[in-house]
Amino acid sequence: MNENVNAAAAEQAELVLTRVLDAPRELVFQVWTDPEHFKRWWGPKGFTLNVVRMDVRPGGTFLGSQTSPEGHVMWGTFEYREVTPPEKLVFVNSFSDENGNVIRAPFNENWPLRILNTLTFEDEGGKTRLTMRGTPLDATPAELQTFQSAHSMLQQGFKGTFEQLDEYLAKARG
């Protein structure tokens, strides 16, 4: 497949999520970039996040594990590409082993290895409009199809994550 066709297919598979959060964008950006905040809300409901490292700068990395209520552990890594406080955060995320080596998703062999995430934080009169765009990188046609067919599952999962973010921001605002 040529590069233009692959880029067009990846764009078609893009997942776009938007949420208005009742907090100033400086705080919203901070809870995405400070490990002490991030570990308290990121991930599916009921999971706990262990942050091993979180170096939020272009070229920096995140490594952490999520543990399900049943004790199942999944590792993940981010590679930060762009950090523009408090406006934009761009990173590539992947499933990984405990050393940060990229691995296949444990739940589907056709899940894309790498997802480019672009987050924008827009001020809306003391609230923040968060827009998150997720696009598979260098994905095969099967990986693009798998990602696109999972949009409703991803939307549901992120709904729970963003509800946790809402609750955390309410506490952080005091």
- Dump the DSSP string for 88-157: EEEEEEEEE-TT--B---TT-TTS-SEEEEEEEEEEETTEEEEEEEEEEES--HHHHHHHHHTHHHHHHH
CA gyration radius, the chain? 16
Would you say the pTM of this structure is higher than 0.75? yes
User: Where residue 2 falls among pLDDT bands split at 50, 70, 90?
Assistant: very low
pLDDT at residue 173 in the model:
83
pLDDT at residue 93 in the model:
98
Instruction: Answer yes or no: is pLDDT of 3 > 60.
Output: no
Q: 69-93 pLDDT, tens per residue?
A: 999 999 999 999 999 999 999 999 9
Residue ranges of domains in the chain, CATH in brackets? 3-173 (3.30.530.20)
Q: 94-121 pLDDT, tens per residue?
A: 999 999 999 999 999 999 999 999 999 9
Instruction: Answer yes or no: is pLDDT of 14 > 90.
Output: yes
